[in-house]
Amino acid sequence: MQRRKAIQTIAITAALAGNVSGWSSVLKNNKRNMSLKGTINHSVCRWTYGSLSLEQLCANVKELGFAAIDLVGPKDWDTLKKHGIYSSMCNGAEINLVDGWNEPNFHSTLIKNYTEHIEYVAKAGYKNLICFSGNRRGMDDESGLKNCVQGLKKILQHAEKNNVTLVMELLNSKVDHHDYMCDHSAWGVELCKRLGSENFKLLYDIYHMQIDEGNVIANIRAYHPYFAHYHTAGVPGRHELNELQELNYPAIMKAIAATGFKGYVAQEFIPTGKTDEDRKQALKEAILLCDV
């Protein structure tokens, strides 16, 4: 037992030293002006910086050296364009996160919404439009797949014609979105295969999938052809990508880059800083950590 304890102590000390060293490197880089490498296309989710106006967030994003914001709908696109910011993941066609494509009763509303928004996205010069499976409500996986295919096929040709990609988000059902159906990569990938279109893919949310299935890097390597977009956040807690959480984001970003991915990786952590300057610094640190 003494030998085992000694080995454990050495391993823990080494791991902590590695984490602190890696994080110190990021903080050291923060003393210089940001110069991003271009391997990863960075973005940030609008809702996580709700304390700022969209005008303020656009200004911060530009100052930090990238040019994209996620989850912005049509009414705010003029603001993005004024600042030269890209809408890397459009929203606004969904009913909500729980009433989705797996339930035929919602299909008529969803088909109308998405038909209209596909045209909005295309006209604005954007590409990605988010969608959701919805909650199970007692439904089995196979029924959910069949229902999603039935509904989505009615708008896929329209999406293909307009060069818009429908992107279904993978969300965890253990902590944040209880009963959500598209909560594992394998289910989402099977839906992609059945639809058989390059205009339907998945949003691989690293935070959510670490909670529900783990094996983040292995799943990125196995399923990357079906992933059109990535989200980040620290686990546990959904906060900053710092030394207090369990994911190795530089390694994950290197795995994403190794697949040849050219889409966007959007920060979706909830900043804990008390001031806008603190929250801006957290975003800067996250971008630097993911800029491999």
Q: For 212-253, write each residue's pLDDT tens digit.
A: 999 999 999 999 999 999 999 999 999 999 999 999 999 999
- pTM given for the model: 0.89
pLDDT (tens digit, 9 = 90+) per residue, 105-164? 999 999 999 999 999 999 999 999 999 999 999 999 999 999 999 999 999 999 999 999
Residue 33: per-residue pLDDT: 55
Residue 16 has pLDDT above 60, yes or no: no
Please tell me whether the peptide bond between 236 and the residue prior to it is cis, using omega within 30 degrees of 0. Answer: yes
Q: CA 245, 248, 250, 256 torsion: positive or negative?
A: negative
Nearest to residue 130, comparing CAs of 159, 164, 91? 91
Lowest mean pLDDT among 8-17, 70-79, 225-234: 8-17
Average pLDDT over residues 18-37: 51
Residues 261, 221: Cα–Cα separation, whole Å:
11
Condensed to tens digits (0 to 9), the pLDDT of residues 86-108 reads 999 999 999 999 999 999 999 99
Domain boundaries defined on the chain: 1-32, 36-290
Task: State what percent of residues in the chain have pLDDT above 70.
Answer: 88
> Any idea which residue has 């066609």 for tokens?
93
pLDDT per position as a tens digit, 264-280: 999 999 999 999 999 99
Residues 180, 208: Cα–Cα separation, whole Å: 11
β-bridge mates for residue 203, sequence order: 169, 229
Contacts 24+ apart (CB under 8 A), 53-56: 54/79, 54/80, 55/79, 55/83, 56/276
Q: Does domain 36-290 have CATH number 3.40.50.150?
A: no
